Amino acid sequence: MTTTAFVLGGGGVLGAVEVGMLRALLEHGITPDLVVGTSIGALNGALVAQDPTPAVVQRLTRLWATAAAGREVYGDRPLRTVRRALSSRTHVYSSAPLTRLLREELGEVRFEELPVRFQVCAASIERSAEHWFDSGPVVEAVVASAAVPGLLPPARVGDEHYLDGGIVNSIPLGRAVELGATRVFVLQVGRVDRPLTPPTKPWEVARVSFEIARRHRFVRELAALPDGVTAHVLPAAGTSPKDDSLLAHRDFASVERRIEQTYAAARDHLRTHLP
């Protein structure tokens, strides 16, 4: 029996491309038995796990359009962000807008209530370990998974604090295989497709280092797929190296274009490889 998994990777604002991929998959008649997500992929994944039908694409598009129009998550005025950075010494934005958006979409739903099995990755600070949420309130878990270091505060769930899941597992292909997936569709934001070059500026060092870690694990897991498991890495259109800049997390202007371009690319990919 085939067990189909959707693996939704991290990528901040570039996560809009995953909406286009979801549209292509659902229109092609492919629905998940399992959804695993990291960071922004956890947000997109939560909605599709709650509503694995084409209707979820409209919900996600509306959610992204709302974020783009009001810059809900990273929309604070510069002076306010400076004050928060000085007072907190750890982050420049509040997690309240993200939490509010998620509660408006998901309410108080728990993992156990979702029609599709769903897991979310976050990085535990106290244990210095990868942590997978698979029970309890979904919104808390997604906020923890999306707590980008330096931008959003560490998220407290129970007695532990968590940071962005992308630190420990940015594209959790291996997790889906561990959970029994035999057919995996990888929804990634395009960064793994772009060649890396040596950093030439101080602020590029951390980005390049993180990209090496992110890509190394994914490539290793892709190469180590066991017999009987297939993985389809969907193409991400509408992204480029400029999306890796320091201020790219605030660039919501291209959300609709990215969704449409990636939808077309993913649709053509599926028609070619899964007629």
Residue 72 has pLDDT above 80, yes or no: no
Amino acid of residue 56: V
At 118-145, the pLDDT tens digits run 999 999 999 999 999 999 999 999 999 9
Task: Specify the pLDDT at position 152.
Answer: 87
As a whole number of angstroms, the distance between CA 172 and CA 53 comes to 23
The number of residues making up the chain comes to 275
Task: Specify the pLDDT at position 37.
Answer: 98
At 77-113, the pLDDT tens digits run 544 544 544 454 554 677 888 899 899 999 999 999 9
The interaxial angle of helices 96-106 and 138-145, nearest 10 deg, is 140
Query: Any bridge partners for residue 230, and if so which?
Result: 183
Task: Specify the pLDDT at position 250.
Answer: 47
Task: Specify the pLDDT at position 89.
Answer: 53
Task: Specify the pLDDT at position 69.
Answer: 52
* β-strand pairing of 129-133 with 155-157: unpaired
